[in-house]
Amino acid sequence: MIDTVPEIRISQPPIQREPSLDENQLAAKPTGAESISPIRQYLLSRGNSAMADRFFHVLMVLCALSIFGIVAFIATELVTSSQLTWHKFGFGFFYKTFVSPVTGDKMYWDPVNEQFSAVPFVYGTLVSSFLSLLIAVPLGVGLAIFLTEMSPRALRAPLAFLTELLAAIPSVIYGLWAVFVLVPLLREYVNPVLVRTLGWTGFFADDNPTGLGFFAGGVILSIMILPIISSLTREVMTAVPHSQREAVLALGATRWEMIRMGVLRNARIGIVGAIILGLGRALGETMAVTMVIGNTPEIHKSILANGSSMAAVIANEFTEAVSDVHRTALIEIGLALFIVTIIVNALAQLLVWAVTRGAPSQAH
């Protein structure tokens, strides 16, 4: 409600008015008309602020360039600090394995003998991320469909708010909850069922009674990347113009068919982008994953086995790494993580941008 100030009519305007070049008017100037008022004097004396404007402009440019500076800073620091490992192992750091001098078994991560291979961590990152996508994509897209096309208007804001809250929960709190609630749940109820029913595939072995492992990591990761996938999918779906929906409906489609053909088909590039963005987040998630994945630098076919991930091993071992080789090996893993997430995120941003370009964000 606008609190208006009451209007008062000023003088009654004359009905007929003829403006004219009145010589008298021009002649009858009030005294002192030639002198300039102090205000005008003051303003005339002010400079044109060219220097202040320039300074301000430069300052703002520098602040903006800091973004590039941050990327350069991270890249430089990580590259220079991982030189030791790079010289020692080269690119094989990421795919070669070696053999333990003691047992003759395949080994990956041996701080004692200063032999390092990033293979198990790459494996763990990929497995846990893939698992999380498997769970989060159907759920996230499903939620997005529900919110954009099906839910009653009243539910939309609260549900969107809840999704925002989910995204705001810190990783360590997810990890805390996972350690004390999710992992026992998996251990007691879910894993045995999985072993019983799907053990024949070889992906569900029963030799890990802790409940930790790739699967636990994947589950908690899925909860964490869900909000991103969901809200971005919502954004690209609402960017699809209504005319598309109406066109399909006019052909006699059911609601699902309208969604499938009128919306999803048009938004599909953006949805792929949302998924890739979720992947990007999953690749780099650290705390929750390191708390439940078991922190064992090994590769197993079973997803119920303990493992590790690139981010997890850094978090777990960095402060205790004594030798320079150990530490720089971890830094090189961090560098790889940096490069991969930049590429994945850049790709995802491009895809989402391509779809929502021009269309204002309505996903609120």
Partner 1 sequence: MKEEGLRSQLRTVTDHAVTGLAVLATILVVTPLVVIFAYLVIKGASSLNLEFFTQIPKPEGETGGGMANAIVGSGVLLGLASLIGVPIGIGGGIFLAEFGRGTGLANAIRFTADVLNGVPSIVMGLAAYALIVSPHIGILPFMGHFSAFSGGVALGIMMIPTVCRTTEEMLLMVPHAVREAALGLGVPNWRSVLSITVRTASPGIITGCMLAFARVAGETAPLLFTALGNMFMSTSLNQPIEALPLQIYVYALSPYDDQHRLAWAGALVLILLIVVAVSLVRYVTSRGVLKGAS
Partner 2 sequence: MGVGIEVNNLNAWYGSNHTLQDITLHIPANHATALIGPSGCGKSTFVRCLNRMHETNPIARVTGSVRVGDLDIYNDAKPVQVRRRIGMVFQRPNPFPTMSIYDNVASGLKLNGYSNRRVLDDIVEKSLKNSALWDEVKDDLKKKSGASLSGGQQQRLCIARALAVDPEVLLMDEPASALDPVSTSKIEDLIFQLKSQYTIVIVTHNMQQAARVAEKTGFFLNGRMVEFDSTHKIFTNPSDKRTEDYITGRFG
| Interacting positions 173-212 with partner 1 (CB under 8 A) | 173-177, 179-181
Told to check if 6 binds partner 2 by CB under 8 A, we report yes
With CB under 5 to 8 Å by kind, the binding choice for 8 among partner 1, partner 2, none is: partner 2
Token readout for 320 is: 């205790």
DSSP run (H or E) holding 141:
helix 119-145
Told to check if 19 binds partner 2 by CB under 8 A, we report yes
Q: How many amino acids of this chain bind partner 1 (CB under 8 A)?
A: 91
The residue to which tokens 């941050």 are assigned: 70
**SS3 (DSSP) at 55:** helix
| Region for 23 from its dihedrals, namely left if φ exceeds 0, alpha if ψ lies in -120 to 50, beta otherwise | alpha
Told to check if 11 binds partner 2 by CB under 8 A, we report yes
- In degrees and rounded to multiples of 5, residue 109 shows phi and psi of -130, 105
Told to check if 4 binds partner 2 by CB under 8 A, we report yes
Told to check if 10 binds partner 2 by CB under 8 A, we report yes
Sites for partner 1 among residues 93-132 (CB under 8 A): none
- Taking the C-alpha atoms of residue 122 and residue 214, their distance in angstroms, rounded to an integer, is 12
Sites for partner 1 among residues 24-83 (CB under 8 A): 43, 48-49, 52-53, 55-57, 59-68, 70-71, 73-74, 77-78, 80-81
With CB under 5 to 8 Å by kind, the binding choice for 334 among partner 1, partner 2, none is: partner 1
Q: How far is the CB of 303 from partner 1 (least distance, A)?
A: 20
* Residue choice 24, 50, 168, 358 for contact with partner 2 (CB under 8 A): 50
Answer positive or negative: Cα dihedral of 253, 256, 257, 258: positive
- Taking the C-alpha atoms of residue 241 and residue 248, their distance in angstroms, rounded to an integer, is 12
Told to check if 217 binds partner 1 by CB under 8 A, we report no
Told to check if 251 binds partner 1 by CB under 8 A, we report no
* Residue choice 311, 329, 351, 363 for contact with partner 1 (CB under 8 A): 311
CA distances from 272 to 2, 51, 167, 348 (A): 46, 49, 19, 8
Told to check if 277 binds partner 1 by CB under 8 A, we report yes
**Chain-centroid distance, C-alpha 224:** 11
Question: Nearest-CA neighbor of 267 among 287, 245, 293?
Answer: 245
Told to check if 134 binds partner 1 by CB under 8 A, we report no
Q: How many amino acids of this chain bind partner 2 (CB under 8 A)?
A: 30
CA distances from 197 to 132, 176, 201, 270, 348 (A): 21, 29, 9, 36, 36
- Taking the C-alpha atoms of residue 326 and residue 356, their distance in angstroms, rounded to an integer, is 45
- Alpha-helix runs per DSSP H in 180-296: 183-185, 191-198, 214-239, 242-250, 255-257, 265-284, 287-292
With CB under 5 to 8 Å by kind, the binding choice for 38 among partner 2, partner 1, none is: partner 2
Told to check if 31 binds partner 2 by CB under 8 A, we report no
Q: How far is the CB of 51 from partner 1 (least distance, A)?
A: 10
With CB under 5 to 8 Å by kind, the binding choice for 287 among partner 2, partner 1, none is: partner 1
CA distances from 244 to 86, 263, 264 (A): 53, 7, 11
Sites for partner 1 among residues 324-353 (CB under 8 A): 331, 334, 337-338, 341-342, 344-346, 348-349
* Residue choice 104, 319, 322, 357 for contact with partner 1 (CB under 8 A): 319
Binding residues vs partner 2 (CB under 8 A): 2-8, 10-11, 13, 17-21, 25-26, 29, 33, 37-40, 42-44, 46, 48-50
